[in-house]
Structure 1
């Protein structure tokens, strides 16, 4: 029970993610089969739908936009600040900070991660590992979206008795960029909303909020 309590936030989001993914598969199959019947084609099983390019592109296009959001947020908040927001560090702290502030190299403590006590490339990689991994996942999921999207797009073109297109033609097509940009704009708006609303609004007990009585101008202060 102690382990569950200590990891309850991760576990809660993992369970909700799996339920949402399963729900997407079920609802997506019903919608896909409705379109199949309308075109006089045979419906598919749940497993056939989950293995299809239609399901893959819908999942990948959401994942890539989410990881783009986190990648940009992690990178931008190193140097960019917003006075009064809990999503920003203090205005005077903009930048990568000193080794002493980051507790790396000679300033590492006994309980610091081993790579935080190293130097050179290993320290640089560890010091930027969160942004690098988020950026890599974004790039991989965007690539997966492009491959699955091409397959789904060509499947529809063949059903309409049109010639399929190459991968290069697909990733420069309005179809691909419409799928990408409609997700990007919503994620960027969500981040903007959180940055600005956290200046003036509060949520008691949440680390994403300032203490209820904190001044609106207080920056980088969490409950």
Structure 2
């Protein structure tokens, strides 16, 4: 068990942080949603109903959508774009290990490398493909949740429902998306630029403390 935790500590830590934050979001979102609908003259709902509500679905996937978009674009952008001095960039002046062609003769290579052909082609781009798919699924779920929440609010006011086609051009939906996208892009910009000049001893996301500012890569 100790070996497992040591070998997977980073993923375990963030999975537990995610679970804790998800519980916090659910608890306080449940309270906030009931407060809002009571103020609108309706009755409070139970937790199981809240988990199926547009309020919960929209709030959850609105954030997942922006995270997966940020990671997908960052992964793809670092193939072609560079930032001199950043630990998050490839070196401008030399070939990187990530650019070498996969060889099936290397020790312990993943099975798609041994398989070759179309399977290898997919595997070579599998990280970005999966991230973009997760973004698309989250985007769809966000849209569904936001539309459902909008219609739930309209129902409380006795107003007609909005169709999916009309809501696709609604300012609320796009405001929800862009307010999250801009923060994710800002955070990427911050780590790319700050890692040029600042250091964190012991972190794989930082250059060595004694590395020159102009040195690029970890």
The question of a shared fold, defined as TM-score above 0.5 by the shorter chain, is answered with yes
Counterpart position of 1:40 = 41
In the alignment, structure 1 segments of 5+ residues that lack a partner are none
CA distance in 1, matches of 2:47, 2:75: 37
Q: RCO greater where, 1 or 2, for CA within 8 Å and sep 6 or more? A: 2
The alignment of Structure 1 onto Structure 2 pairs a total of residues equal to 217
C-alpha deviation, 1:96, in angstroms: 10
Distance in 2 (alpha carbons) for counterparts of 1:95 and 1:211 = 18
Q: Please state whether the residue corresponding to 1:116 is helix, strand or coil.
A: helix
Rounded to whole Å, the distance in 1 between the matches of 2:148 and 2:85 is 47
RMSD: 1.7
In 2, Cα distance between equivalents of 1:13 and 1:84: 28
Kept in 2, the 8 Å contact 1:86–1:220? The answer is yes
Q: Provide the rounded CA distance (Å) in 1 between the counterparts of 2:25 and 2:18.
A: 10
Equivalent position of 2:157 in the other structure: 160
Q: Is 1:11 matched with 2:9? A: no
Contact 1:198 1:209 in 2 (8 A): yes
Secondary structure of 1:92's counterpart equals: coil
Q: Deviations over 1:166-192 (max 9, x none)?
A: 112112111110000000000000000
Counterpart for residue 117 of structure 1: 114
Task: Give the deviation of 1:76 after TM superposition.
Answer: 0.5
Q: Which runs of 4+ in 1 moved over 4 A?
A: 93-98
Structure 2 length-normalised TM? 0.94
Per-residue deviation, 1:47 = 2.1
The structural deviation recorded for 1:120 is 2.5
The residue number in structure 2 matching 1:25 is 26
Unaligned runs of 5+ in 2: none
Moved more, 186-195 or 143-152: 143-152
**How many Å apart are 1:46 and its aligned residue?**
2.0
Distance 1:187 1:147 in 2: 22
* Match in the other structure for 1:84: 85
Equivalence for 2:197: 200
Structure-2 separation of matches of 1:159 and 1:199: 52
TM-score (norm 1): 0.92
Which one of 165, 180, 185 corresponds to residue 182 of structure 2? 185
State how far apart, in whole Å, the 2-side matches of 1:94 and 1:142 are.
36
- Encode CA deviations 1:88-131: one digit per residue, 9 max, x unaligned: 01113589965xx24x145x402111211333211110000000
